[in-house]
Amino acid sequence: MIHFKNVTKIYDNITALRNISFSIEKGEYVFVTGPSGAGKSTLLKLIYLAEKPDEGIISIAGYSTDTLKDRAIPYLRRNIGVVFQDFKLLENKNVYDNIAIALRIRGVGEREIRERVHEALKLVNLRHKADSLPSALSGGEQQRVTIARAIVGEPTVLLADEPTGNLDADNAAGIMKIFREINARGTTILFATHNRDLYKNTGCRVIKLDSGNIVYDDLE
């Protein structure tokens, strides 16, 4: 599903990732961990091609960075759902439209959009907030909207970059439960966090980064 082969990423003479290689199979739930600046966010950005590798090859869901044309990037991204720490919600659109936009981009008809958005809202338990603006929601609710938007397009891979970073323990637990449900449906998940409590005793695979190197890659 995801293959990194000798990937290096350098920002202004600072090596964010150094010659890393790993593979993630379909349906896996993988935690990417490590201290701040270890390269977790860079790794995720390379997967959804917000950044391109300086060296090495990344292949995701049949797309390979060495052959991928710029105009194909949007189609790759439609296979990937991303949950951002800072939510990245459209402030002038309500919850429904924030989620629906992911499907409108794909050219899905409004009737189907209505059904799928309501299903996604049901999963994140926010059906009653469909008409609210993001500014009227709590941090936990906003993060759940982001998750609904990320999964509504039925991506094969879901990336989460510190999704519980701004949330209290209860909200974080709620979000983790949603991620487990999504994974149970067969979606591959890469969850970046520096919080060990989130993956402790889960039995999931953990990739630990430090200064751009993989220092641990095994089950928790």
Contact positions toward other proteins, by CB under 8 A? 48, 50, 71, 74-78, 82, 88-90, 92, 101-102, 104-106, 149, 153
The answer to whether 51 touches 42, Cβ cutoff 8 Å, is: yes
Of the candidates 105, 43, 104, which has an alpha carbon nearest to the alpha carbon of residue 74?
105
* Pick 105 or 136: Cβ nearer other proteins: 105
* Pick 78 or 208: Cβ nearer other proteins: 78
* Pick 56 or 155: Cβ nearer other proteins: 155
* Pick 161 or 172: Cβ nearer other proteins: 161
C-beta of 13: minimal distance to other proteins in Å?
24
Of the candidates 158, 55, 41, 19, which has an alpha carbon nearest to the alpha carbon of residue 65?
55
* Pick 18 or 106: Cβ nearer other proteins: 106
Please state, in angstroms and rounded to a whole number, the distance separating the CA atoms of residues 148 and 81: 9
Of the candidates 204, 209, 162, which has an alpha carbon nearest to the alpha carbon of residue 19?
209
Residue 125 gets the label, from left (phi > 0), alpha (psi -120 to 50) or beta, of left
Which phi and psi angles does 5 have, rounded to 5°? -125, 110
- Which helix (H) or strand (E) covers residue 95, if one does? helix 95-104
C-beta of 136: minimal distance to other proteins in Å?
19
C-beta of 74: minimal distance to other proteins in Å?
5
In the chain, the amino acid numbered 170 is D
C-beta of 127: minimal distance to other proteins in Å?
22
